[in-house]
Structure 1
Amino acid sequence: MKKFLKFTGFSFLLGFTSFTYGQDAVVVSPDEKLKMELTNNGGVPLYSVFYNNKTMLEKSPLGFKSNVEDFTKGMKFINSKKDKISKNYSNEKIKKSQVQYDANVMICSFETASGKKMDVEFQVSNNNVAFRYLIPIQGETMSAVIDEEATGYRFPSNTKSFLSNMMKPMTGFARTAISYESGYVADGELGKKSEYGYVFPGLFRIGDNGWVLLSETGVDSQYVASHLDTTSEKNLYTVAFPNAAENNGFGSTGAAISLPAKTPWRTITVGNSLKPIVETTIPFDAVEPLYEPSQKYQFGKSTWSWILWQDQSMNYDDQKTFIDLAASLKYEFILMDATWDTNIGKERLKKLVDYAKSKNVDVMLWYNSNGAFNDAPQTPRNKMNTSIARKQEMKWLKEVGIKGLKVDFFGGDKQETMRLYEDIMSDANDYGLFIIFHGTTLPRGWEVMYPNYAGSEAVLASEMLYFSEDVRKQEAFFATLHPFIRNTVGSMEFGGTFLNKYLTKSNKDKNKRYTTDGFQLATAVLFQNPVQMFGVMPNNLSDAPKFQLDFMKEVPTLWDETVFIDGYPGKYSVIARRHQNQWFVAGVNAENAVQKLTLKFPMLAGKSVRFINDDSKGETSEKTITVGKNGELKIEIQSKGGFVIH
């Protein structure tokens, strides 16, 4: 008998048709360009991925080890069951507000010699494979601990990698690492060893065959967050669980689960160009909301004194100045950073909140996440790490009128930390607060799973431009990578776009910027996060050109569509985003030479647009141009420069 299970926004047809291929099973994408083959080789489950009949992943291992059974070897293939899923959903916080997801589904069943069972569910959409393990109740056993996974990705030997190292646990400022803030190596050697592995996502160029992006999604309190690690085989990467030293060495590195269980999704995005990589929505397609929003959350732009005025700015008068700045820019928020509780105090903070409301500006506050897992001294401390303290604090925050929190300094990827992330978001929703995470792990489908989630750092972000000369010199290089890797799988709270020539309060003497004004404006479009703290300063109201301020007033943080135009990670990047009926196009160039490009903008064909670009001397200006009727436009992007069309 067939029946439909109804979920919000889609229907999933149950009533599988069973196919048995001996030891093999195959599922293809709706457009039949992407194929996933499963083979059981001597009791070891393996899968392969092909695109346009070209090998993207060679036979790669599946399975996991648990305290119930070893599901990596001695496996008997039972059968495969196929179906389809069609889902339409909306989400204003991601790169595309309306999504139609269609995939072919295959569930492959395996059994160990002792009769223990494991299923692998594959969803194959155009350009994407998502898979996870389904673990039933094993006889009388209704709980298990997953100790490690064998899940792997075996690449053709001509592959190049674009990867970022996992940080050494309990290092860096006040022993707060890991925080996903290492840089990337472009066109790296396949299989190069990393002491602590590589973060998700990872991008790979498969010779002339195309591109593969690896990540994971659907991680919540029921599992650990994983990363990539190398193996003795140069072309094989595997999923690795957290390092034991994370969280100050406390907590298991495995995942404790109640049976029946579903693990997080491993996602593989493939294409013969970078277009499917930039435009993929698979991190959001495969997951569902975990709770209902308590209200309609508002997102947008924010001022932020700390990024250049630093700790000394956390006082009543300076925060009032940045409220006025937000009002003049018509920004929705101001972020008051660390030590607001000691330097301003809760009573005077209430006065600032009331003043901000009179200016039509809402307030976000910074919090330290830590309990026992790092040494960060910034306050408020120990307000987010326990349920009792958190709810007491959030009750007061709601009474005062605070709209959101930026919670910082998380300790790792163990299940214990995943539970803390979820608890903070769930409790915050009860009190009408949205949450941004800083000093944090990669978001893994959280934009959909947690309705009040508003973004994560998890990148070498703007604060390191302030602190590091080396990062300033590599700013353009990293910016050309993010649309293809970090930011394509999840919201990225970068906190940039500086109009100061020098990244200081005085705008002189030190921390000179190596990128142009055109570059800085372009990143406001290039980087996507529903709430973005921009680096516009009060002095910019008088020392920045009017067209730059006008653009920073106009640029949105919510997008209805994202389109890849051109680029190569580490060299240059051109992305188009649409907000309602208006298109914004942004491009940046990391190379030492000028990029002379003929670009196609079919969405702008024949239209008059404003064009911001740099000249050969690095001076930035704006003019009105008309795009050709064929949608083509010749553009030169200066070295370390950028352009914006809007």
Structure 2
Amino acid sequence: MPLKKHFEQSVKCCCAIVIVLISFNAFPQKFTLMSPGKKIKVDLFNRQNAEAGQWYLRISYLNNGKVCEAIPAIDLGLSRSDEDFSKELKFLKAGTIKLIQEQYTSPHGKRSARSNMANEVVASFENPSRAKLNVIVRVYNDGVTFRYEFPEKEGRFIVKDEFTSYAVPTASKRWLEKWNTANERFYNVTKGNNVEKQDWCYPALFQSPDSTCWFLLHEADVNRTYCGSKLSNARNVSEYKLTFPDAGDGRGKGETTPTITLPWKSPWRVIILGSLADIVSSTLVDDVSAPSVLKDTDWIKPGLVSWNYWSDNHGTKDFQVVCKFADLAARMGWPYTLLDWEWDAMGNGGKLEDAAKYIQSKGIKPLLWYNSGGDHTWVGATPKDRMLTHESRMEEFAKLQKMGFAGVKVDFFESEKQSMIAYYLDILEDAAKFKMLVYFHGCLVPRGWARTYPHLITYEGVMGAEWYNNVPFFTMEAPGHNTTLPFTRNVVGAMDYTPVTFTNSQHPHITSYGHELALSIVFESGLQHMADRPEGYDQLPDGPKTFLKNVPNAWDDTKLLDGYPGKDIIIARSKGDNWYIGGINGEDNEKGKTLKFDFLPNDVKYKITLITDGEHDKDFVTQYLVVDKTSSVDVKLLRRGGFVASLIPLK
């Protein structure tokens, strides 16, 4: 029976068998593994049509009765300093099918109640020397993950290369960010002959040639036993191979190839798969990562933050400016204010200790910036080395805890080598001892650590509003960029873009006030740094100002209602019984959208406060309506415009 026909029939019959596991001696296919919902299928094949040789996975997706071959081949294998595990691997067996079924909660992110549910199989191989390699494959309802395992009990080796490579048809659309250590560039959309050959950042978004399927490539559960990786199609324009860090990253400090000790498991290779709505709502990167190491998470409190750097790059040098931003947080009901770089040079009426006392006297918790320090960064901003060693961190965290600081922002990592991965995790483990929140800046993008270390509350790893300070071209690119990030970077974890600015920094923005207001919902971050100066918020009309006083930033659920990367997005998020909707237009033409509320529960009416673009880009219109599951409301978005809505159930 042809494989596609078999796949279609297995779905249509809806039989009780959730896994189809096939082993043929005469054919290259060794197993088929399906998702619990029977919409995603993974096959293992041999390229030589033999029992030994090179192996690859194929991923298929069922959409409205049509099978899409999402990724025709994912090449497998590694090379170790003592052995090769790629070219002459002998298939031994596929183990017993295992149902992964786990529930957990998260104190912040796009969903509070999480489910880690998948079907798993372990494929066992050996090379000509009879050294063993396992490939652990899981199929979820929203994607596929796999990892390598060396099961032998002893040995210490260097992994010389990893041969994981994703074959992507030339006609596939792709949204990719050119590789840079800070993960701060634009996502450019290409296909066909326009695709460039080079190194790329995670995550990477692709649309199948027939437009029936989307998938996002990433990795998760990276730990001290490996390095971070990136994607490269430098050798073959249609193949994206996992690639280790460049030798020059982090000023050349650290080894590019990881050293491992057996037994060992690699990070998970993650493919989030399905519709755009499936991708945007997915928590797969966290789901597949290690559970929390913290027993007590009650002290981890997400919230909005006032931040002086965007409007005044040297604001933290000035005690009076620090006080103004503490007062702003107090007026707006935001729980935090951040003291950025140059706090150790503070003057004009007070020092750090005075600032900490003043901030807390307003009922606000202070956060504090640090340089990551060390020879891996060129940046000499002080204090430079207080996060660098265990001893200095313990001393610094003890001082901060005594002064009432709630967390730290640590900046300028510039590398994803194994030694730097260990440094990130060292900071997190020491910070937890003092109940310090951690925010990484100038850093890698999320790898699932927010599950393992839930006090890691946000990351930069994005070209955000800070770039209005840096370059004039961000002004024109920002609207489309803003509508791409929810489908790419923000899918895989918290993203501190530092949004919601109404005045201008060094370079102006051309997004409407409605667009800026909507970023408070469209972008998810456990610490949402509101970047404008106090007068930017004080001048707002009552409706938008009240909205920003009350909008959450940690969510119980997330749903994509409409959108397309680079064009527009409408997203709904819930907190308790309340729902919040944010929509932005990334294009230069005015648009009309119809809001449908079919995601609401039955027989419940909601009071909706709808704040939309007005007559011009600095104007708002606020409406108050009653809606339920059957309602719809028409909304106008200006070019580069936006809107928000809050829905509160009527008692």
Q: TM-score, normalized by length of structure 1?
A: 0.91
Deviates more, 1:603-612 or 1:458-467: 603-612
Question: What is the CA–CA distance in structure 2 between the aligned matches of 1:58 and 1:515, rounded to whole Å?
Answer: 40
Q: 2:277 aligns with which of 268, 275, 278?
A: 275
Kept after mapping to 2: 8 A contact 1:191/1:234: no
* Superposed CA offset, 1:477-514 (max 9, x none): 111011111001111011110122x226xxxxxx3320
Mapping 1:234-383, distance limit 5 Å: 234-271=237-274, 273-289=275-291, 291-292=293-294, 296-344=299-347, 348-383=351-386
Name which of structure 1's ranges 27-36 and 616-625 shifts more when overlaid on structure 2.
616-625
Q: Which of 152, 157, 176 is 1:144 aligned to?
A: 157
- In structure 2, what residue type is equivalent to 1:477? G
Q: Look up the equivalent residue of 1:635 and give its one-letter code.
A: V
CA shift in 2, pair 1:260/1:346, >3 Å: farther
Map 1:25-104 onto structure 2 (within 5 A): 25-42=31-48, 43-52=53-62, 53-81=67-95, 82-104=97-119
Give the conservation status (yes or no) of the 8 Å contact 1:499–1:535.
no
The answer to whether the 8 A contact 1:63-1:72 is kept is yes
Distance 1:516 1:191 in 2: 32
| Distance across 1 between alignment mates of 2:37 and 2:481 | 34
Deviations 1:318-342 (A, max 9, x none): 1111111111111111100101012
| Cα shift readout 1:322-376 (whole Å, capped 9, x = no counterpart) | 1111111111111001010122599832222222222110000000002101221
Separation (CA, whole Å) in 2 of partners of 1:221 and 1:266: 16
| 1:615 maps to 2:614 | yes
- Distance (whole Å) between structure 2 residues aligned to residue 346 and residue 361 of structure 1: 20
- TM-aligned CA deviation for residue 45 of structure 1: 1.0
Q: What's the Cα RMSD here?
A: 2.1
Task: Say whether the 8 Å CA contact 1:191–1:233 is kept in structure 2.
Answer: no
Separation in structure 2 between the aligned mates of residue 254 and residue 630 of structure 1, nearest angstrom: 57
8 Å Cα contact 1:18/1:79 also seen in 2: no
Q: Which amino acid aligns with 1:642?
A: G
- Deviation readout 1:58-93 (Å, 9 max, x if unpaired): 022011111131111101011101211111111022
What secondary structure is seen at the aligned counterpart in 1 of 2:469?
Answer: helix
Say yes or no: does 1:227 pair with 2:230. yes
Q: Is the partner of 1:308 in helix, strand or coil?
A: coil
Tell me which amino acid in the other structure corresponds to 1:420: Y
Q: CA deviation at 1:294?
A: 5.8
Residues 493-512 of structure 1: matches in 2 within 5 Å? 493-500=496-503, 502-503=504-505, 511-512=507-508
Shift of 1:527: 0.5
Partner Cα separation in structure 1 for residue 373 and residue 490 of structure 2: 26
Query: In structure 1, what is the Cα distance between the partners aligned to 2:33 and 2:539?
Result: 59
- Pairing 1:485-496 to 2, within 5 Å after superposition: 485-496=488-499
1:550 Cα shift? 1.0
- Alpha-carbon deviation of 1:234? 2.8
More deviation, 184-193/323-332: 184-193
SS at match of 2:630: coil
Tell me which amino acid in the other structure corresponds to 2:491. Answer: T
Distance (whole Å) between structure 2 residues aligned to residue 26 and residue 346 of structure 1: 69
Residue 532 in 1 paired to residue 545 in 2?
no
Deviation (angstroms), 1:606: 5.1
- Which residue number corresponds to residue 544 of structure 1? 540
Residue among 562, 565, 570 paired with 1:574 = 570
> Is the contact made by 2:71 and 2:168 (CA closer than 8 Å) also made in structure 1?
yes
Q: Is the deviation greater in 605-614 or in 519-528?
A: 605-614
CA drift of 1:19 comes to: 7.2
Aligned residues: 610
Shift of 1:17: 12
Cα 1:427/1:330, change in 2 over 3 Å: same
The answer on 1:162 being equivalent to 2:180 is: no
Contact 1:49 1:56 in 2 (8 A): yes
Asked whether the equivalents of residues 493 and 533 of structure 1 are also in contact (C-alpha less than 8 Å), the reply is yes
- Counterpart of 2:207, as a letter, is R
After superposition, where does 1:182-193 map in structure 2 within 5 Å? 182-189=185-192, 192-193=195-196
- Asked if structure 1 preserves the Cα contact closer than 8 Å seen for 2:589 and 2:640, the reply is no
- Given that 1:159 and 1:190 are in contact with CA atoms closer than 8 Å, whether structure 2 keeps it comes out as no
Superposition map of 1:399-478 within 5 A: 399-478=402-481
1:557 Cα offset (Å): 1.1
SS of the residue 2:547 aligns to: helix
Cα distance in 2 between the residues matched to 1:384 and 1:75:
44
2:486 counterpart (439, 460, 483): 483
Q: Deviations over 1:193-251 (max 9, x none)?
A: 344x1111000010222211111110122211111100543321111110111011121
CA distance in 2 between counterparts of 1:607 and 1:183 reads 38
Runs of 5+ consecutive residues of structure 2 not aligned to the other structure: 1-18, 647-651
Q: Which moved more, 1:518-527 or 1:246-255?
A: 246-255
Q: Which residue number corresponds to residue 15 of structure 2? A: none
Partners of 2:235 and 2:334 lie apart in 1 by 52
2:140 aligned to which of 125, 148, 162: 125
8 Å CA contact 1:289–1:451 kept in 2: the answer is: no
Counterpart residue type for residue 281 of structure 1: T
Mapped contact 1:146–1:255 kept (Cα < 8 A): yes
Instruction: Supply the distance in 2 between the matched residues of 1:616 and 1:158 (Cα, whole angstroms).
Output: 41
Secondary structure of 2:572 counterpart: strand
Q: Distance in 2 between matches of 1:308 and 1:331?
A: 18
Cα distance in 2, alignment partners of residues 194 and 419 from structure 1: 31
Q: Quote the residue 2:127 is aligned against.
A: 112
| 1:393 CA displacement | 1.3
CA contact (8 A) 1:565 1:601 kept: no
Following superposition, the deviation at residue 293 of structure 1 comes to: 5.2
Task: Describe the SS at the equivalent of 2:103.
Answer: strand
SS of the residue 1:583 aligns to: strand
Contact in 1 for aligned 2:145/2:271 (Cα 8 Å): yes
CA deviation vs aligned residue, 1:458-483 (integer Å, no higher than 9, x gap): 00011102222211211111110111
SS of 1:483's equivalent? Answer: helix
Q: Answer yes or no: is 1:587 the counterpart of 2:588.
A: no
Deviates more, 1:601-610 or 1:123-132: 601-610
Q: Can you list the C-alpha shifts for 1:547-579, whole angstroms capped at 9, x where unaligned?
A: 222111111111010001010000001110001
Rate the CA distance shift 1:255–1:17 in 2: closer, same or farther, 3 A.
farther
Letter in 1 for 2:36: P
In 2: Cα distance, 1:343 partner to 1:269 partner: 46
Shift of 1:638: 1.5
Bigger shift: 287-296 or 368-377?
A: 287-296
TM normalised by structure 2 equals: 0.90
Q: Identify the residue that residue 635 of structure 1 maps to in structure 2.
A: 635
**Letter matched to residue 623 of structure 2:** K
Shift of 1:109: 0.6
- The one-letter code of the counterpart of 1:287 is S
**Structure 2 Cα separation of the partners of residues 328 and 639 of structure 1:** 32
Contact persistence 2:197–2:236 (CA under 8 A): no
Shift of 1:301: 0.8
